[in-house]
Every structure is written in structure tokens, then in C-alpha cells.
Amino acid sequence: MNVAIIKRRAGRWALNGAAAVGLLYILTPLIFVTWLAFFYQEIPSFPPEGYSLRWFAAILDQPKFVNGFSLSFQVGVIATLIGLALAVPAALCITRFQFTFRAPLASLLLMPLIVPGVVLGTAMYVFHVTLENGLDVDVLGTFYALVAGHVVIVIPWIVRLVTASLSGVDRTTEEAAQNLGANAWVTFWRITLPAIRPGIVAGALFGFVTSFGNLEMSLFLVGPGRTTLPIVILQYLEWKIDPTIAAVSVVQILLICIAMLITDRYVRLARVV
Amino acid sequence: MSDTALGPAPSLPPPSDGGGARRAEGVGRSKALTATTLLAPATIFVAAGLLAPLAILFRYSLNEFVARTKTMVEALTIQNYITFFTDPYYTAALGTTIRVAVTVTVACLIVGFPLAYVVARTQSRFKHLLIIAIVLPLFVGNSVRAAGWMVVFGNKGFFNTTMMSLGLIDRPIEIMFTEKAVIIGIIAVNLPFMVLSLQSVIESIDRAVEEAAFSLGAPPLTMFRRVLWPLALPGVLAGTILTFILAMNAYATPFLLGGPLFKMMAPVIYNEFTQKTNWPFGAAIAFILMAVTLSLTLAANVLLHRRAAR
């Protein structure tokens, strides 16, 4: 056989092998957490003494996981809805109009993505303290303050994905609709909105998941007796690692996996990520 | 990714203004009104929820802290910033953070490039599943992934048990609560960002230029060095910047895998704020972290651009 072909084939295998190592590296922590969730014994020692499903039932015995999940879910849904109401019009404005300060304002809306979570958290914390002292109302540690903080980190995702989606929409269809007598609102509702739905779906998904998984900022915003799931997990892991926390993680992984597969049907994630 | 979701500053597409010819003055004014109603709510929300808090935090960093009574006193001093840079405890934390972030970024680039290339070039119909497998861990949360590494690294964990049963080591190697564990953990956290940044750029490179290099007799490594790498440089830049920033700010991974004695900047800030309630100092460290991250990123940017220009 030709030496060049053999060499090229070997190179291909080496490349695929290196890629497989990379993928395996990314997935290793998830694989081991999932494995641990099915252990029979409580201590994470290898090899496992046997396998069991009892840890999944054990989750329900610990109300902090259930409560944490429910709070994270509520905050995520509400923050995403408010984020959509604020960010979709903003994205529309940024792509459709030319005005002074357009670029800086667009950067401002994306800025929460690049400010470190811990800095964001501390800044909001002192802000809430200042508000509380100034207005004489409870702010710090309230549900509303937590949601408001999450809206700030949801907005950039929606702005970003909807802007990308809008710039691909052909304006002539909108103009045709208006020439045929549709007003601005009807044009938006019947023409623009269906065209940018993939961007909105992707933005909402990324926004929700960002909110649901947020740890660093939320650490400063939660109040006594009111803790989000990532914080519950962090505090639990600080003391011990056992199959119960692994089972909690597996449930979370499964839910996110399902959400992503559903979203992928509407909008190819490969194109929006 | 560099042009949609996670890359650095997004490039704005020029607005498509419909007509093109200047409309009447009245139309312009109603347009301005529409634009304002659309943009104002989000802008005001982010300004109030982000800029105002950052401004107050900066003001706090100039205040004084009385350790004896644990209270903050209004002042206008840069003492907190001086304290940070003169106390070896804090400069060591900054040094550790930079060292870890640089190591992680280089490792991510080396491990991530082949995967990004294969994902970008694959013709498989399972490509979207491959992408989901890379994106999924991003959403699972850093604590959960740290938990996975705890299972691997523990004294009776997978790594030590396997190595001992193979007879490669006599007693468990201490990995948990070391810098090694933290670095391995953060690489896994940041790798998807690097892969997606690289992949989107590699995908846009025409396959034909690679073929041309091969047909002119270039071995794969030469093709990589002379063709692929220079063309992929924007993706490399976006990926390294993102990975570096994320590593500098990492909180959960150093906290869980590094243990209480391992100091990186983000956990130190959290500690100053909640444990020591020293808000002015915590605020100062927060701004030092942002400033250092930003200036190192800019420096790397300039350096890489100059290299690329040569």
C-alpha cells in the first residue's frame, strides 16, 4: 500500500483519538456523578459494593433539595419571562434603528455576561443594602430582589440570540405586509415574530438555564430559609459527597438534557450556540 | 460562537432601515419615539441593576473599615488597595489565580483544538448530538462537575483505586485539595467554551485551502502551522480570552476541589464579604480582580495581534 495513504490514515486516527480524549474530558465529571448515584453503599469508594436506586427516593426525604429546586425553577421562569418582555423589544430596536450611542447601549445590555459573578453578587448586595437604608423597605434577601438580579443576567442572552436571529430576517417581507395595509403591530406579530421564533426560543432557554444554574451571584442575594438549588448543592458538597447528592445531580442533568433535546427540535443548537 | 452567544464583544450588524432615502421630519420623530420605547425599559433595568450597584461598590472600596467594631466608616482613601498589594497573603492569592488561569487556558487550547476541528469538519448526521454533549455540561453547574471530580480523586476514589490495583502506586496520591485538582477541574469547566469558540471559526475556513496545502506536499503539521492556525486565530483569540476570564473568576471549583486553605481571588472576595464583613476591602479586591483580568486580557490581545501581523 501507498505510504502516503497509510500516513494520512494514521494521522486521521490520531486526530480522532485526540478529539475523543477532549470530549471524554468534558464528560468525565458527569459520568462519575451519574455512576455514584447508583452505588449501593453511601461512601464513594471503588469498586462499588453493588447498585441501588434508593438514593433517588432519598432525595424526597430532604426538603431542602425539593425547596431549592422549586425556588430555582420559579425564579428562572419569572426572570426569563421578564427578560423576554424587556430584551426582545431592545433587540428589535438595536437591529432596526440607527441612532447615537447604539453600539455602547448594545454593549451595556451584554455587559452582565462579562462581569464576574462574585463581583456582580457583591455589587448587588451593597446596592440592596443602600436601597434598604434609603427607602426603608425590605430588599435584601427578598424573592423580588433575587428575581431582579436574575433578570439582569438573563437579558444579555436574549438580546444576543434575538439580535443574531433578527439580522437574518429579510426586511422586504415586512415591507410587503405594510404595503398591503398591515400596521406595525400586525406586521411584527404575523411576520417578524414567527421569523425570529428560533432566536427567542434559544434565548429563553439559555436565559432560563443561566438563571437556574447561577451560583456566584445568588450566594449574595438569597435570604434565610430561601436558597436556590445550586447553593444547596454547594453547601452540601462542602461537607460530604454521597450518592444522594449525586442522585440530585442526575435528576438535574436529565432535565437539562430533555430541555436541550426539545429545543434542538425547534432550533438547531449547533447554529445558535 | 464568537459571533453569537459567548464570544467577546459581538459585532453589530448594520441596521436595515427599510427605505434608505431620508423620510420626512415627522416620520423621523415618531421613529425616534418608537426606538426609545423599545430600548429604554431594558436599558434602564440593566443600568439600575448593574451600573448603579458597581458604582456603589466602587464607592465602598474607598471607605474605611474599623476591625474592632466591625463597622464601615465613610472615607475617601485608597488604603484598601494599598493593603491588598502589600499583604503577602493577598498577593499570593492573586499570583495563584493568575498561575491557575494561564495553565488552564493553555491546556484548554491544546486539548480543545483537535475536538473543535473534528466537530467543525464532521459530515456525520449526529453532529448536533455531539454539540449537545459539549454544551450540556455548561448548563449542569460547576458544583455538580466538581462533585464528579471528587468521586474520581478521593483517597478511595476511582483514580487511586485503579492505579493501586494495577500496582502502579503503593498508597493513594493526594489530589483532592491541591492546585492540581483545581486546575483539572477548571479545565473541564472551560473546555466547552474553548471548543465552541474554535469550532465556529474553523467551520468558516474553506476546506479547499487545507486540500491545497496538502496537494502542494505539505505534511499535516506544516499545514496546521502555516494555514489552519493563522486562519483560526480569531477563534483562538476569542476562546483564550473567554477561558482566561472564566478561570480568573472561578469560584465553585477552587472552593470545592481546592479546600479551605487553597486561595483564589473569587473565594477570597466572598470570604471578606460574608465571613469578615469587611465590605470596603472586599469591594477593593473585586475591582482589583476585574482590573487585573481586563488588563491581562488586553495585553494578550495586543501581543497576539502583533504576532499575527508579522
Size of interface A-B (CB pairs under 8 A): 320
Among the partner residues A109, A117, A123, nearest to B43 by beta-carbon distance? A109
Contact A139, A132 (CB under 8 A): yes
Residue A267: closest CA among A210, A213, A194:
A194
Of residues B15, B118, B256, nearest to A95 (C-beta): B15
Has residue B1 got a pLDDT over 50? no
Q: Do A118 and B144 touch (CB under 8 A)?
A: no
pLDDT at B308 (0 to 100):
64
Compute the average pLDDT of residues A53-63.
Answer: 87
HSE-up (13 A, CA, CB side) for residue A66: 8
- B35 CB neighbours in chain A (<8 A) are 93, 96-97, 99
Of A52 and A8, which is predicted with more confidence?
A52
Instruction: For residue B310, give how far its alpha carbon lies from the nearest alpha carbon of chain A (Å).
Output: 29
The answer to whether residue B57 scores a pLDDT higher than 60 is yes
Q: How close, in Å, is residue B104 to chain A by CA atoms?
A: 13
pLDDT in tens, A203-233: 888 889 889 989 989 999 988 778 999 999 9
User: Is residue B8 pLDDT above 80, yes or no?
Assistant: no
Query: DSSP 3-state helix, strand, coil percentages of chain A (rounded to 5)?
Result: 80, 0, 20
- Least confident range of A43-47, B119-123, B205-209, B273-277: A43-47
Q: Do A126 and B161 touch (CB under 8 A)?
A: no
Q: How far is B281 from chain A (nearest CA, A)?
A: 12
C-alpha cell recorded at residue A270: 449547533
**pLDDT confidence of A20, banded at 50, 70, 90?**
very high
* Nearest in space to B154 (alpha carbons), one of A129, A240, A41: A240
Q: What is the pLDDT of residue A268?
A: 65
Q: In this complex, which of B18, B57, B135 lies closest to A269 when CB atoms are compared?
A: B135
CATH 1.25.10.10 for the B53-309 domain, yes or no? no
Instruction: Tell me if A203 sits within 8 A of A156, measured CB to CB.
Output: no
* pLDDT given at position B17: 47
Residue of B nearest to A88 (CA): B38
Cα–Cα distance between A210 and A150 in angstroms, integer?
9
Q: What's the confidence (pLDDT) of residue A271? A: 60
Q: What is the pLDDT of residues B139-172, one digit of tens each?
A: 888 899 999 999 999 888 889 888 888 888 888 8
Contact B9 A241 (CB under 8 A): no
Which candidate from A26, A105, A149 shows the least CB-CB separation from B49? Answer: A149
Which amino acid is located at B265 in the chain?
A: M
Residues of B in contact with A245 (CB under 8 A): 147
Contacts of A117 in chain B (CB under 8 A): 249, 251, 266
Binary contact (B49, A106; C-beta < 8 A): no
In this structure, the dihedral spanned by the alpha carbons of residues A76, A112, A25 and A263, taken in order and rounded to 10 degrees, is: 40
- Indicate left, alpha or beta for B217 from its phi (over 0: left) and psi (-120 to 50: alpha): left
State the fold for domain A53-272: MetI-like fold (1.10.3720)
- Closest partner residue to A86 (CB to CB) among B16, B35, B45 is B45
Is the pLDDT at B207 greater than 50? The verdict is: yes
Contact across the interface for B32 and A268, Cβ inside 8 Å: no
> Which of A60-74, B88-102, B194-208 tops mean pLDDT?
B88-102
| Mean pLDDT score, A133-151 | 89
A91-104 mean pLDDT: 84
Task: Indicate the domain borders of chain A.
Answer: 1-37, 53-272
B49-74: buried (b, 16+ CB within 10 Å) or exposed (e) per residue? bbebbbebbeebbbbebeeeeeebee
Residue in A with minimal Cα distance to B195: A22
% of chain B at pLDDT higher than 90: 36
C-beta atoms of B150 and A44 within 8 A: yes
Calculate mean pLDDT across residues A110-126. Answer: 89
Average pLDDT, whole number, for chain A?
87
Phi (first) and psi of residue A49, to 5 degrees: -75, -20
Residue type, position A187, single letter:
T
Confidence of residue A123 (pLDDT cuts 50, 70, 90): very high
Within 8 A by CB and 6+ apart from B117, the residues are A15, A19, B198, B199, B202, B228
- Whether residue A109 and residue B46 make contact (CB cut-off 8 A), yes or no, is yes
Domain ranges for chain B, please list them: 53-309
Contact B46 A245 (CB under 8 A): no
pLDDT for the residue numbered B288: 94
Beta-carbon separation of B10 and A98 below 8 A: no
> What are the tens digits of pLDDT across the range A229-272?
999 999 999 888 889 999 999 998 898 888 888 877 776 666 65
Please give the average per-residue pLDDT across A3-28, as a whole number: 88
What residues of A are in contact with residue B127 (Cβ under 8 Å)?
270
pLDDT of residue B18: 45
Q: What is the pLDDT of residue B109?
A: 95
Summarize pLDDT for B240-283 with one digit per residue, the tens. Answer: 988 998 899 999 999 999 988 899 999 999 999 888 889 999 99
Give A-chain residues touching B273 at CB under 8 angstroms.
122, 125, 220
Q: Which residue reads 437604608 in cell numbers? A: A133
